[in-house]
Amino acid sequence: MPIKLSPSKLNLFLECPLCFWLSEKGIHRPSGPFPSLPGGVDRKLKIYFDKYRQLGKLPPELKGKVEGKLYDDMEKMDLWRNNRKGLSWTDEEGNILAGAIDDCLFDKGNFIIVDFKTYGGSEITEEKIEFYQNQLDCYTLLFEKNGLQHPGFAYLIFFIPIEVKENGEIRFDIQVRTVKTNSSRALKTFKEAIKLIKEKRPKKHSECKFCAWADDNWKFE
């Protein structure tokens, strides 16, 4: 039976193979009962960016910080952002990689991935950027497999809350980071994850706080 994976599932695979393997068997890590604040901010940011897309302009926060302009095909943007559709690719065995992007710039024939991140910290470290590397690599692979030329990098746009004003107004510090991407690395991760799913249960990850309770003797069909 074909297997369908997303960048977030591959993130889990890289973080803890056992949690990933268990999730593919229907045993998932606990999650919050309500939509997250970052998810809500992302939705509002897309609406905000679309206002400037319709004007053919960049949001003022991005001027001088990024290359190109907002990709102006709204129909495709709606598709690429759709979590149920998005961008997808099927390998020779029928396995699927699928993901939805936040936004896209276009410059000199290149499609440039843009990903929004709401961040509560004060400093954006290299470790923080590396945490999103696989996600951006996967989007790059999906662009390539869908015939979309890219420049070999993507933009992470961090929205860092710095002040709360009257009437619930929040002021953000907006920082842009350029991240080099590698589709071959994403493809390797995808293939390794598919292989693991088909194998026997992996051992517990010594540093994972989620699967530490799992019994190595449990049997799965």
Asked if 68 contacts 108 with a C-beta cutoff of 8 angstroms, the reply is yes
Q: What residues contact 196, with CB distance under 8 A and at least 6 apart?
A: 13, 17, 20, 21, 202
* Alpha carbons 88 and 143: distance in angstroms, whole number: 9
The pTM assigned to this predicted structure is 0.90
Tens place of pLDDT for every residue, the chain, 221 residues?
Answer: 899 999 999 999 999 999 999 999 888 887 765 555 566 788 899 999 999 999 999 999 999 999 999 999 999 999 999 998 899 999 999 999 999 999 999 999 999 999 999 888 778 889 999 999 999 999 999 999 999 999 999 999 999 888 888 877 788 889 999 999 999 999 999 999 999 999 998 887 767 888 766 555 555 55
DSSP codes of every residue in 41-107: HHHHHHHHHHHHHHHT---GGGTTTSSSEE---HHHHHHHH-TTSSEEEE-TTS-EEEE--SEEEEE
pLDDT at 70: 98
pLDDT at 1: 83
Asked if 137 contacts 181 with a C-beta cutoff of 8 angstroms, the reply is yes
pLDDT at 59: 94
Q: Which residue shows structure tokens 């020779």?
A: 92
CATH, range 4-25+34-198? 3.90.320
pLDDT at 36: 56
Burial of 108 (0-12, 13-18, 19+ CB in 10 A): exposed
Asked if 202 contacts 19 with a C-beta cutoff of 8 angstroms, the reply is no
pLDDT at 96: 97
